[in-house]
C-alpha cells in the first residue's frame, strides 16, 4: 500500500508541472483526461497531508499527557481519543482512494429501462424508475437526455432509453443493471390485491467514437414512420430510424426526434454503447477473480432489488440492504443506496487485494 501511495504522490507532482504547460490545453481530450487524473490525485495528496497532521497532533498530545497531571491530563487523554478516531477514519478513507480505479468509472452512461412481467403496471413502474434516476441526476447537477421511448396509453413506458452525463456517472450508477421487482396494488387493480411486476435496467458506459470502430459497410439503416400513442410526427414523416450492426446483430431504433438526422445520431450513440458493452463483457470475463465482487455481475437478468410500496421498503438483495424510505428514494433521494453499493464493492476489492 505504501508503494502505491508513493507512486500516486510522485505522479501528482508530475501532473502539477504538466498542467502548467500551455500546450496541454490545445489538446482538449488530453486536457480533460489529465485534469480528471489530477483531481483524483489531489484528493489522495490531501488525505496524506491530513493523516500526517493528525499523526503529529497525536504525538504532541501523548507528550502533553506525560507532562501534565489532574484535569489537564484527562482533557489531553480525551483530545487524544478524538484525534485517533479522526486518524482512523482518514486512514480508512485513504485505503479506498488507493484502490485502482476502473477506467470506466468516469464515463457518461446510456441507461435502458424496459417493462418486464406485469403488463401496464410494469410499464408504469418503468416510468417511475426513469423519474427516480432523472431526479437523482438533478441533485448531482448531471445532464440527462431521452434518446428513445415507447410510451403506453396510461403514461408508462414499455421502453425508455436515455443518457446521463456528468462527473463519475458510471461509478455511481453502474450497479443498477438487473431486474427491479415491484410489489404494490396497481392503479388498474379494483380489488386491492398486491401484484408483483418486474422491470429490467441496463447501464451502458457511453463510448467515444475513437473507442469503437464501426465500419459504414457493417451497418444497415432503415427509415420508417414513427409509431406509438400520440408521438411526435406519428405516421406523418419517415423520421424514425433503425440501425442494425450486421456483424453482431445488434439493432437500435430511434423515433423521438422530428428529424431523421437527429434520430440517426442518437441511434449511433446507443449502438456504440451496446457494442462497447459487449466488448467490455468479454474483457471482464478474462479478468481475474479478484475483480468480481458481491455487488453482482451487472447481468441484466439478475434480480437485484425489490420495491415494496405497502411497507415503504426497498431491499437490495446483493448486499442485504433494507431501507424504509422508499417514498424518498423514488423522489430521487437515493444517494445512501448508491453509496452503499459502491462501498460494498470497494470493501470486496480491499479484501481480495489483502488475501
CATH architecture label of 109-206+290-354:
2-Layer Sandwich (3.30)
CA-wise closest residue to 208 among 24, 28, 34, 29: 29
Query: Looking at residue 36, what is its pLDDT?
Result: 81
Query: Looking at residue 41, what is its pLDDT?
Result: 92
d(CA 339, CA 343): 6
Query: Looking at residue 249, what is its pLDDT?
Result: 92
Three-state helix/strand/coil letters over the chain: CHHHHHHHHHHHHHHHHHCCCCCHHHCHHHHHHHHHHHHHHHHHHHHHHHHHHHHHHHHHHHHHHHHCCHHHHHHHHHHHHHHHHHHHHHHHHHHHHCCCCCCCCCCCEEEEEEECCCHHHHHHHHHHHHHHHHHHHHHCCCEEEEEEEEECCCCCEEEEEEEEECCCHHHHHHHHCEEEEEEECCCCCCCCCCEEEEEEEEEEECCCCCCCCCCHHHEEEEEECECCCCCCCECCCCCEEEEEECCCCEEEEECCCCCHHHHHHHHHHHHHHHHHHHHHHHHHHHCCHHHCCCCCCCCCCCEEEEEECCCCEEEECCCCEEECCHHHHCCCCCHHHHHHHHHHHHHHHHHHHHC
Question: pTM to 2 decimals?
Answer: 0.74
Query: Looking at residue 316, what is its pLDDT?
Result: 97
Query: Looking at residue 237, what is its pLDDT?
Result: 67
Query: Looking at residue 207, what is its pLDDT?
Result: 85
Asked whether the beta carbons of 235 and 168 are under 8 A apart, the reply is no
Handedness of CA 87, 93, 96, 101 (dihedral sign): negative
Tell me how far the alpha carbon of residue 192 is from its chain's centroid: 36
- All residue ranges of the chain with pLDDT < 50 are 230-235, 287-294
Query: Looking at residue 348, what is its pLDDT?
Result: 83
Do domains 109-206+290-354 and 216-285 share one topology? The answer is: no
Query: Looking at residue 233, what is its pLDDT?
Result: 46
Query: Looking at residue 353, what is its pLDDT?
Result: 67
Domain layout of the chain by residue ranges: 2-97, 109-206+290-354, 216-285
CATH architecture label of 216-285:
2-Layer Sandwich (3.30)
Amino acid at each position: 500500500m505504501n508503494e502505491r501511495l508513493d507512486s500516486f504522490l510522485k505522479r501528482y507532482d508530475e501532473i502539477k508541472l504538466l498542467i502548467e504547460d500551455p500546450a496541454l490545453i490545445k489538446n482538449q481530450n488530453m486536457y480533460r483526461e489529465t485534469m480528471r487524473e489530477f483531481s483524483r490525485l489531489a484528493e489522495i495528496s490531501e488525505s496524506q497531508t491530513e493523516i500526517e497532521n493528525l499523526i503529529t497532533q497525536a504525538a504532541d498530545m501523548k507528550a502533553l499527557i506525560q507532562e501534565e497531571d489532574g484535569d489537564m491530563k484527562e482533557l489531553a487523554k480525551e483530545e487524544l481519543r478524538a484525534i485517533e478516531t479522526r486518524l482512523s477514519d482518514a486512514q480508512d478513507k485513504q485505503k479506498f482512494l488507493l484502490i485502482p480505479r476502473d477506467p470506466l468509472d468516469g464515463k457518461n452512461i446510456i441507461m435502458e429501462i424496459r417493462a418486464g412481467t406485469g403488463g401496464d403496471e410494469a410499464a408504469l413502474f418503468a416510468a417511475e424508475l426513469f423519474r427516480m434516476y432523472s431526479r437523482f441526476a438533478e441533485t448531482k447537477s448531471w445532464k440527462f437526455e431521452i434518446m428513445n421511448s415507447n410510451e403506453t396509453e396510461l403514461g408508462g413506458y414499455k421502453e425508455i432509453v436515455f443518457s446521463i452525463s456528468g462527473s463519475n456517472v458510471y461509478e455511481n450508477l453502474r450497479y443498477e443493471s438487473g431486474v427491479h421487482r415491484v410489489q404494490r396494488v396497481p392503479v388498474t387493480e379494483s380489488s386491492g390485491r398486491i401484484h408483483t411486476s418486474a422491470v429490467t435496467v441496463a447501464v451502458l458506459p457511453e463510448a467515444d467514437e475513437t473507442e469503437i470502430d464501426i465500419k459504414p459497410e457493417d451497418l444497415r439503416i432503415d427509415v420508417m414512420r414513427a409509431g406509438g400513442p400520440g408521438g411526435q410526427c406519428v405516421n406523418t414523416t419517415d423520421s424514425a430510424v433503425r440501425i442494425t450492426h450486421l456483424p453482431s446483430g445488434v439493432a437500435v431504433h430511434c423515433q423521438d426526434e422530428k428529424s431523421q438526422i437527429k434520430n440517426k445520431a442518437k441511434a449511433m450513440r446507443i449502438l456504440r454503447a451496446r457494442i462497447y458493452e459487449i466488448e467490455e463483457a468479454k474483457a471482464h470475463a478474462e479478468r481475474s477473480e479478484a475483480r468480481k465482487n458481491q455487488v453482482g455481475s451487472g447481468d441484466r437478468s439478475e434480480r437485484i432489488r425489490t420495491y415494496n410500496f405497502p411497507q415503504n421498503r426497498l431491499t437490495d438483495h446483493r448486499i442485504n440492504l433494507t431501507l424504509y424510505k422508499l417514498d424518498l428514494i423514488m423522489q430521487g433521494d437515493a444517494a445512501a443506496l448508491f453509496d452503499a453499493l459502491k462501498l460494498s464493492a470497494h470493501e470486496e476489492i480491499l479484501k481480495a487485494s489483502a488475501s
